[in-house]
Amino acid sequence: MLTQQRHRIILDLLKEKSVIKIQEIIDLTNTSESTIRRDLSQLEESRFLKRIHGGAARLQGKLQEPSMIEKASINLQEKRLIGQYAASLIEEGDSIYLDAGSTTKEMIDFLDVKDLAVVTNGFMHLSDLLNKGIKTYLLGGYAKPSTNALIGRGALEGLEMYRFDKAFIGVNGIHPQSGYTTPDQEEAMVKQKAINLSRDVFILADDSKFGEISFGKIADLNQAVIITNKLEEDISKHYKSKTTIKVVTS
Nearest to DNA of 69, 227 (CB atom): 69
177: Cβ contacts below 8 Å, ≥ 6 apart: none
Bridge partner residues of 164 (DSSP): 198
Q: Are strands 117-120 and 135-138 parallel, antiparallel or unpaired?
A: parallel
Stretch that binds DNA, among 32-40, 73-81, 127-135, 234-242 (CB under 7 A): 32-40
Stretch that binds DNA, among 37-45, 83-91, 164-172, 242-250 (CB under 7 A): 37-45
Distance in angstroms (rounded) separating the CA atoms of residues 246 and 228: 6
Residue 43 CB neighbours (<10 A): 22
Residue ranges in contact with its own copies by CB under 8 A: 2-5, 8, 18-19, 21, 52-55, 57, 61, 123, 126-127, 129-130, 135-143, 145, 150, 152-155, 157-158, 161
DSSP code of residue 221: G
Nearest to DNA of 15, 53 (CB atom): 53
Bridge partner residues of 56 (DSSP): 20, 51
If DSSP codes are grouped into helix, strand and coil, which group holds residue 206? Answer: coil
Rounded to a whole number of angstroms, the minimum distance from the CB of residue 143 to its own copies is 5
Nearest to its own copies of 58, 80 (CB atom): 58
Pair 23, 30: CB distance under 8 Å: no
Question: Is residue 23 close enough to count as binding DNA by CB under 7 A?
Answer: yes
Rounded to a whole number of angstroms, the minimum distance from the CB of residue 75 to DNA is 14
Q: Catalog residues that contact DNA under the rule CB under 7 A.
A: 1-3, 6, 21-23, 31-35, 37-38, 41, 51-55
